[in-house]
Amino acid sequence: MTRPVLLALLATTGLALVLPTTLATVAAGAGLASLAVLAAWARALRRGVTVEFAVARRWIRGEQGTATVTVRNRSRWPAPRVRVDAKLGIGGLSPNLQVVELAVPARAGRTLQVPVEAVDRGRWTPPATTVRLSDPWGLIAVERSLPAPEPLVVLPTIHPIRRLAIPNAAPVPVTPDNESLVEDPLAIIGVRDYRPGDPLRSIHWPATAASGTLVRREVERAQARDLLVVLDLAQASWRGQGGRAFESAVTVAASLLVDALGQRQPAALCTSLPPRGRGGRATVARFSSGGGRHHLDAMLIHLAGVRRHQAVDAAELLTSHASRAEPGTTAVLITAATLPDHTAARALRLRAAGISPVVVHVIDPALTGPPIDGLSATRPTSSVIPSRTVTTDRPVAELVL
């Protein structure tokens, strides 16, 4: 019961005691009777009205959907005014606070769909939902809290990636660079004359004996089997680039993983984890190469929560973890920084081991940030490592790999 109503009833009762007139007595009796009826109504609604607030646990950034509010009234009393205050997580869904008011007749139920939109990726834990039951005039109200909804996840935006001159059997980020791919000795497609510089192991001895001249085997290049996505989270790498560039980088990483596994190609993800406590050092989070829905979900949920921090150097991430990959793997580094010169030498060693490195630069052309380690963030990578550029003023779907 609201404070003004309670004060009015107390004043009326006190007036009836001080001035024992018929009018005052009738007014006091009517007030007390109304109070008893409202109290009985409140008890009935507290026991008979149930409210359920449901929202999907998995969202994609930019996705529009609905939250469902279901109110059931099992009592014999109508619920003329049910107010539901629901908080959908700080920043995860919009609008953050949903306020729903509806009337529910006796022994009936109502369901209401509330439009919401996923505005920011991350892992969010919504607080408890508050329900307020009151009469149409707001004279008496009953409040209670519903259990907090289960945590929800807003995944990065996912776009299709265009592929150019790449067979369907290869994963998405393979660059048409035959020199970086190893040969498949079992896939013989023909023979040709031996030329100076050809390896001796390529000589086809039966054909050489039959023709009397040196003949070598012609074999197909082995296509990259696995995909390794390395996302650079170092703050220094994104200096001078705004949040749009970083969000585009996360989108590129998620899109590559989804497309690769959609083509039934094994994929892996490598990022850094922020330091724990003061003086701590950044560690590495690595998802081994694999396939399947659960593997993809684990990588996408990890990408949903990544933020820029004092991370492990991007070049170190690329070279150290790509060196552990199987021959034929394509290692994609997504960053805004220019790799140092010594990375090119490491890249040559990776290519000699059958690993195909490629760099995807993500930049915001509207921003011209300060140099990074003396180099411009938009300076192209050395020709030793193939590179592609993604700008925030163009859709990620136009990226060609």
Query: Rg of the Cα trace of the chain?
Result: 33
Structure confidence at residue 183 (pLDDT) = 52
pLDDT value, residue 139: 66
- Quote the pLDDT of residue 170: 36
Q: Tell me which residues of the chain have a pLDDT lower than 70.
A: 1-21, 23-28, 31-32, 35, 89-91, 135-140, 162-189, 219-224, 277, 279, 340-345, 348, 368-384, 398-401
Strand ranges in 156-250 using DSSP code E only, listed in sequence order: 183-193, 215-221, 227-231
Are residues 271 and 364 part of one domain?
yes
Domain shared by 41 and 86, yes or no: no
134 and 42 fall within a common domain:
no
Same domain, 81 and 139: yes
The answer to whether residue 33 sits within a structural domain is yes
pLDDT value at residue 27: 66
pLDDT computed for residue 2 by the predictor:
46
Q: How many CB atoms lie within 10 A of CB 8?
A: 13
Q: Would you give the DSSP letter of residue 162?
A: B
The pLDDT score that the predictor gives to residue 306 is 93
Q: Tell me the C-alpha distance between 29 and 23, whole Å.
A: 10
For residues 100-117, one letter each, b for 16 or more C-beta atoms within 10 angstroms of the residue's C-beta and e for the rest, the string is beeebeeeeeeeeebebe
Is residue 388 domain-resident? Answer: yes
Q: Which of 302, 268, 291 is nearest to 121 (CA)?
A: 302
Inside any domain, residue 177: no
Residue 158 inside a domain? The answer is no
Domain match, 19 and 55 both: no
Q: What is the CATH classification number for the domain harbouring 72?
A: 2.60.40.10
259 and 117, same domain (yes or no): no
Q: Which residues form the domain of 39?
A: 3-47
Question: 126 — phi, psi (to 5°)?
Answer: -65, 145
Q: What is the pLDDT of residue 199?
A: 74
Task: Confirm whether 211 is domain-assigned.
Answer: yes
Q: Domain of 278: which CATH number?
A: 3.40.50.410
Q: Are both 114 and 194 inside the same structural domain?
A: no
pLDDT (0 to 100) of residue 153: 93
- Please indicate, yes or no, whether residues 210 and 339 belong to a single structural domain of this protein: no
- Per-residue CA distances from 339 to 41, 294, 314, 370, 376 (Å): 71, 33, 8, 16, 11
Inside any domain, residue 260:
yes
pTM of the predicted model as reported, rounded to 2 decimal places: 0.71
| Residue 330 phi, psi (nearest 5) | -100, 120
How far does Cα 389 stand from its chain's mean position? Answer: 22
If asked whether residues 273 and 217 sit together in one domain, one would say no
Exposed, middle or buried: residue 278 (CB in 10 Å: 0-12, 13-18, 19+)? exposed
- Give how far the C-alpha of residue 84 lies from the chain's centroid of Cα atoms, to the nearest Å: 28
Would you state the pLDDT for residue 59? 92
pLDDT tens across 332-383, in order? Answer: 889 888 776 666 667 767 777 778 888 888 888 887 544 343 333 344 444 5
45: Cβ contacts below 8 Å, ≥ 6 apart: 73, 75, 77, 79, 133, 142
Same domain, 116 and 195: no
Total domains, the chain: 4
Q: How far apart are CA 40 and CA 280, in angstroms?
A: 60
CA 392 from chain centre, in angstroms, equals: 18
* Separation of alpha carbons 401 and 381, rounded Å: 15
The answer to whether residue 376 is domain-embedded is: yes
Same-domain check for residues 237 and 383? yes
Please, are residues 293 and 258 in contact by the beta-carbon 8 Å criterion?
Answer: no
Assess whether 294 and 387 both reside in one domain: yes
